[in-house]
Every structure is written in structure tokens, then in C-alpha cells.
Amino acid sequence: MSHNQPTDRVSLIRTAFLLEWISLAWMAVEATVALTSSVAAHSITLAAFGLDSLIELASAGVLIWRLGVELRHGQEFSEHAERLASRIGGALLFTLALYVAASAAWSIRAGKGGEFSSLGVAVALAAIPVMYVLARRKLDIAEKLGSRAMRTDAVESIACGWLSFVVVLGLFAQLLTGLWWIDAVTSLGIVGFLVREAREAWRGEECCSESH
């Protein structure tokens, strides 16, 4: 039941549902491949990439719940779900930022990097265009719905796309140059961005021109 919500808004929510289910399916594959490859290659960026996939799985689940609340009970009843989903998303972003920073620090202290992984590079290359399209569509929906929670989920897709690029760059650079620390250093490029977006999501700042 949409509880007499505007038809356009219901259509946007249904589109958002589709995007989140696509995210769930892709992230299940991505997490499995990235984490398996990270163990075999001892790669921090692949491990961070895999953890990000798990975080996106959780985020998509939260968004599906939040969107479901609005479809069943209406926009006014979704405000609490929106705030809670935004905070959960912020916490997930903080978790990812902490993991990436800690893992990079551990690798630098240990003085060793990861090995090249063809399978890891393949899934990372495939993720770049997938995440680009998903992130753009999610940001557009977030703008139209006025949803910070949806924007936070889009940011996690952006982070996934960025980490995909970092994985490819870091592993190829390490393969070509033999510099073990490249894997760790390149993974730090996303930390500041994640922390900034996580703080905004946790505070529940408005992301869009339209209000709820």
C-alpha cells in the first residue's frame, strides 16, 4: 500500500528497490571473489574491497527496509526509518574507513604487500562501470526523494568503484615496479572521503533540495 502517496514518488521508490536488489546480487558475487582472492594473494586492497562489498550488502538491506516502510505506511511514517537508515549507513562508512586505515598501517608496519591476483583484478575491473552506473542512479533518486540514507548508500557505491580502481592500480603497479607498499598506500586514498560522508550521514544532514 502506498497510502495515497504521489504516483511519481511511488515510482521513484520502486526504481530505488530495483537498484538495491541489483546491488545485493552484484555485491554477493563481488564479496565472494574479492575475499577469496585477498586470502590467496595476501592483498589489503582486495580485502578492503571485499569488506566494502559486505558493507554494501548490509547497506542495501537497510535501504530495502527503509523503502519498504514508506511503501507500506506512507512518507510521514518513513521519517524515523530514514533517520535510522542514515545512521546505520554512517556507521557502516566509519567501519569501512577504519578498516582500510588499520589494514594499510598494519601492512606498512609489517613491511610486505600483496601478490598479484588475476581473479581479483578481473572482478575489480568489472565493478568499475557497474558501480559508476549504480552510484549515479542512486544519487539521482536520493536527490528526488530527499533521502540522506539513499545518498549514503550511493556514496558506498562510489567507494566501491573507487576501491575497484585502487585495486587495479595498486596490483598492476606492484606487479610492474615491485614496490610492496603501493597496495597499502593506494588504499588510503578513499579514507578522508569516507569519513566526511559518514559524519554527514550520522548527523542526518539534508543532502538534497527537496525535504522529506
Determine what percent of the chain is predicted with pLDDT higher than 90: 19
Domain range 7-203, CATH architecture = Up-down Bundle (1.20)
- Distance CA(41)–CA(167), nearest Å, equals 12
- Is residue 12 within 8 Å of residue 145, measured between CB atoms? yes
Confidence class of residue 128 from pLDDT cuts 50, 70 and 90? very high
**Distance set, CA 152 to CA 75, 87, 138, 145 (Å):** 19, 9, 9, 13
Most confident among 31-35, 70-74, 77-81, 145-149 (mean pLDDT):
31-35
Please give the residue that has the higher pLDDT: either 113 or 207.
113
pLDDT > 60? residue 38 = yes
pLDDT > 90? residue 1 = no
- Is residue 165 within 8 Å of residue 128, measured between CB atoms? yes
Q: Going by C-beta distance under 8 Å and a sequence separation of 6 or more, which residues neighbour residue 146?
A: 206, 207, 208, 209, 210, 211, 212
Side chain identity at residue 81, one-letter code: A
- Looking at residue 2, its pLDDT comes to 45
Please give the residue that has the higher pLDDT: either 20 or 166.
20
Please give the residue that has the higher pLDDT: either 48 or 147.
147
Tell me, rounded to whole angstroms, the distance of Cα 63 from its chain centroid.
12
Tell me, rounded to whole angstroms, the distance of Cα 183 from its chain centroid.
20
- Looking at residue 211, its pLDDT comes to 40
Digit-coded pLDDT (tens) for 57-114: 888 888 898 888 888 876 665 677 778 888 888 888 888 888 878 877 877 887 766 6
Report the C-alpha dihedral over residues 124, 125, 131, 136, rounded to 10 degrees.
150
Q: Would you tell me how many other CB atoms lie within 10 Å of the CB of residue 177?
A: 9
- Is residue 184 within 8 Å of residue 169, measured between CB atoms? no
pLDDT > 90? residue 26 = yes
Please provide the average confidence, as pLDDT, over all residues in the chain.
81
Q: Which residue has the cell 530505488?
A: 16
- Looking at residue 83, its pLDDT comes to 81
Give 172-199 as a DSSP string: HHHHHH--TTHHHHHHGGGHHHHHHHHH
Give the cell for residue 65.
527496509
Side chain identity at residue 177, one-letter code: T
Most confident among 32-36, 38-42, 147-151, 153-157 (mean pLDDT):
32-36
Please give the residue that has the higher pLDDT: either 12 or 111.
12
